Structure 1
């Protein structure tokens, strides 16, 4: 038996432990036999209510009872009686596909669920043969279907992770504030006074503190200095003369040194403050941009004023960039007005939609695991109440298969979402994508189609499984009914044949008696 998540790994065993306990209680108390008595009474009453044309009612009832009891015994043996032992050692956490896609998944004992697994102790459970086969087949089909989906990063998860990344070090955060005040504010004022001619790319670039234009153009960051001494830059007489000298030998770096010096510069320390796994995810996805472009676009988001405010306080979860500095947001007046009006409505819904969908996507596998556990626990009671009918067995079988197969639909929806986003933004820089694809973007930015695509892709995580549920419910209902009808038809045929056989025997016996009495053949 295999599972696809730590929670499912734990709840599957827990479900079978409780399942065994319920069945043992029903078996020890004799309740499991009540449906057998109900079958006999039901078929006897059914045969008794048949018309006179049905022939020998006793033979008819006997054939029906035999068929029903035989079916019930088969269901009890294969679907109710625990047979195959399982434990935490027998349930395997399947990480094959994650390994193939280069994703590291810890073992259950190395995860936060380790203490939960220990609470089960040495408890083990047993699984009926039929449900063990159903679990193996459904997981195998689901795994094969999922494995056919090409490996791709979860772009929604990456963008959410970028958006929720904060500068955790308060000293580093304060230094970002100092750099903004000492360098960026004064240099930007100087830029406005000089009024240089900037192209569209440069106009967008100068709107953040790590601007390449301000760093590499003489007269800007190379001519501005930190207002307080910094220990990482020793005193330099040619650079720092005329400024207050401190006992620890700290100097006053230029803004260019303060930002870009290797190892000690603010830029390198900000890069190091971001979780390395996030950089790995970004670089594995955005293969069409350089490492520098990826880092600078991400840092631009990280040090934005909205991000800094959220890092210093609480209350907000997702940031808003406000006015976009990207060129060409409104290419023509008509197109701009249409985009603005359409996107305003989408923007309002989008602000609520992203957090909801993020929570839903996180909760879906959890709900799946709990539903699987609930279905496993319910099996003994369902079998007893249904009087061990094959229709119930196949309905529950379809239900368990459907729950296991949901993993494939969610992976397919995630892959489609990521693939469409990659196709849509592949020719754009990561910086441009960061603004387009922030959870709350500018209402006038982007296209209506791209924002509608966000809603449609998000809805697929609900729509695809619901559609599959509907199809499987329809198929399961008809298959179950078909089996029930076949069983009923077969029992009627067997009962009718038995009744006819009894009538023929009766007629033959009567004829034999008359022949013996009269001496004449009848």
Structure 2
């Protein structure tokens, strides 16, 4: 049987385990039989009140017979636990997974496996009524079929969120970046400005505004060197001329800025560029490079540079002086305007839905699994208070279907989100640059509404439909073939009234 998330595998069993517990309490205490007593009293008293005693007895007997059959049918089909469900036979298939394999409970590879064991779930399995076992199987199959039909796209928000929130955790690496800025980048920029060096037309102007500038790597970085020894770079007598090998040979050498950045001459071949790239989640960075390279035609190395630029831009306050990278070629007034714009941009970014949407996406399956667990667990009381009415089966079935169908709605919203971002913001991958904030807010509000409002609207709509269907079934059992006609008439009158009041 398929479910919609890893957590739902375990909470499904726990919900039905609590269902069994609550139903057993109702049966053991005798409360489960109170609706039958109420049915007998109601069917005896009401006919006597409305008819003569002689006619009332026949009516009472007929009503008691009909209601008894209906209530026992509900008990057997939808209330009494019978079929076994266990997290071992529940599985989850991740959408757009290259492997496409269904993962069963206990072998998901998540921490859920060690947290939700048979001991914590109250046993190895739970019992489920026949009707609800069928409902779960059908809805799970429908969800899987619908999600598989949605074209697969990369999760752009997840990629962006992972890269934008990467930070340099190694204090030694932070220190190296600061020294590289002081010894290499600042020196190279001063040489460029003071000597009026010609800038090639084949390089973008923004190439100068970051540490790994190709113009500097092919120019000043070739001769400029670190002012102090850098760990991992071996001593080179042809380069480190300040040391007399007959007197002292240092453990580490002072690489040129090009070597320092690329790792040429490093014991492990790791330069500053690669060390910074290693601070970003490897999976997110690989997906980011492949996706952007495929959609834009840019080399993967250039796309990786974009991710490193983003990492450095997010760490500007930690790297003393790096926040001034974009101000070398600007006038003082422009600098002030740029600073004000950056402040406003940071405020807008903090107010953006971007991280909020990521959090909503992460929380959505958890919320869905918890809601379903509560529905399963509390269902005995629902049928008990409703006196085991057949119409309530349809109503609750639609509720369960609607909540489980949230997964499909979220898959549609996720597909729309990724395609809207690439259609409206084709340069979304330039994460360190301020893009059109209005466009971002429009997309965020639309997708945020889809993730939050659409499932609630969907569930409310189907709940109303379930009520109408349940009422129709009740009318059929009570009034024969006149029931559907009366239900349709009432529905039409209700629609006319709503239209006349301006509600539709």
**TM beyond 0.5:** yes
Judge which range, 294-303 or 56-65, deviates more.
56-65
Choose the corresponding residue for 1:296, options 290, 302, 305. 305
Asked if 1:183 is matched to 2:184, the reply is: yes
Higher relative contact order at CA 8 Å, sep ≥6: structure 1 or structure 2?
1
**Which ranges in structure 1 are unaligned for 5 or more consecutive residues?**
313-320, 328-339, 437-441, 494-522
Q: TM-score, normalised by structure 1?
A: 0.79
Task: Map 1:405-424 onto structure 2 (within 5 A).
Answer: 405-424=405-424
Query: Using the alignment, how far apart are the partners of 1:39 and 1:310 within structure 2?
Result: 74
Q: Alignment partner of 1:126: what SS?
A: strand
Number of the residue aligned with 1:511 = none
Please tell me whether the aligned partners of residues 234 and 249 of structure 1 are also in contact (alpha carbons under 8 angstroms). Answer: yes
Q: Does 1:279 align with 2:285?
A: yes
Q: 1:180 Cα deviation (Å)?
A: 1.4
Secondary structure (helix, strand or coil) at the match of 1:434 reads coil
In 1, Cα distance between the equivalents of 2:189 and 2:162?
Answer: 30
TM-score of the two chains, using structure 2 as the length reference:
0.82
Find the counterpart in structure 1 of residue 139 from structure 2.
Answer: 138
Count of residue pairs the alignment pairs up: 458
Taking the aligned partners of 1:285 and 1:380, their CA distance within structure 2 comes to: 49
> Which residue in the other structure is 1:97 paired with?
95
8 Å CA contact 2:289–2:300 kept in 1: the answer is yes
Partner residue, 2:274 = 268
Q: Which moved more, 1:112-121 or 1:381-390?
A: 112-121
- Please, which of 430, 435, 445 is the counterpart of residue 432 of structure 2? 435
Structure 1's 266 and 154: CA in aligned 2 closer, same or farther, altered over 3 A?
same
Q: Report what 2:64 is aligned to.
A: 65
**Pair 1:37-2:46 in alignment:** no
Contact 2:20 2:127 in 1 (8 A): yes
Contact 2:368–2:403 (Cα < 8 Å) also in 1: yes
Distance change in 2, residues 1:393/1:364 (3 Å):
same
Asked whether the equivalents of residues 153 and 418 of structure 2 are also in contact (C-alpha less than 8 Å), the reply is: yes
Q: Which has the larger radius of gyration?
A: 1
Contact 2:406–2:455 at 8 Å: present in 1 too?
A: yes
- Listed one character per residue, the Cα deviations across residues 1-28 of structure 1 (whole Å, up to 9, x for unaligned) are 3222221111111111111011111112
* 1:234/1:251 contact within 8 Å kept: yes
**SS of residue in 1 equivalent to 2:315:** helix
Aligned to 1:86: 85
Displacement, 1:425?
A: 4.3
- The 2-side partners of 1:90 and 1:232 are apart by 53
Cα distance between partner residues in 2 of 1:454 and 1:104:
32
- State the 1:128 CA deviation: 0.3
- Let me know the Cα RMSD of the aligned residues: 3.3
In structure 1, the partner of 2:209 is 207
In structure 2, do the counterparts of structure 1 residues 137 and 411 end up closer, same or farther at CA, with 3 Å as the change threshold?
A: same
Where do residues 187-336 of structure 1 align in structure 2 (5 Å cutoff)? 187-196=188-197, 198=199, 202-216=204-218, 218=219, 220-242=220-242, 247-262=249-264, 263-286=269-292, 287=294, 288=296, 289-304=298-313, 306-307=314-315, 309=317
Q: Which residue of 2 aligns with 1:473?
A: 463
1:357 corresponds in structure 2 to 357
Question: Structure 2: any 5+ residue segments left out of the alignment?
Answer: 330-339, 484-504
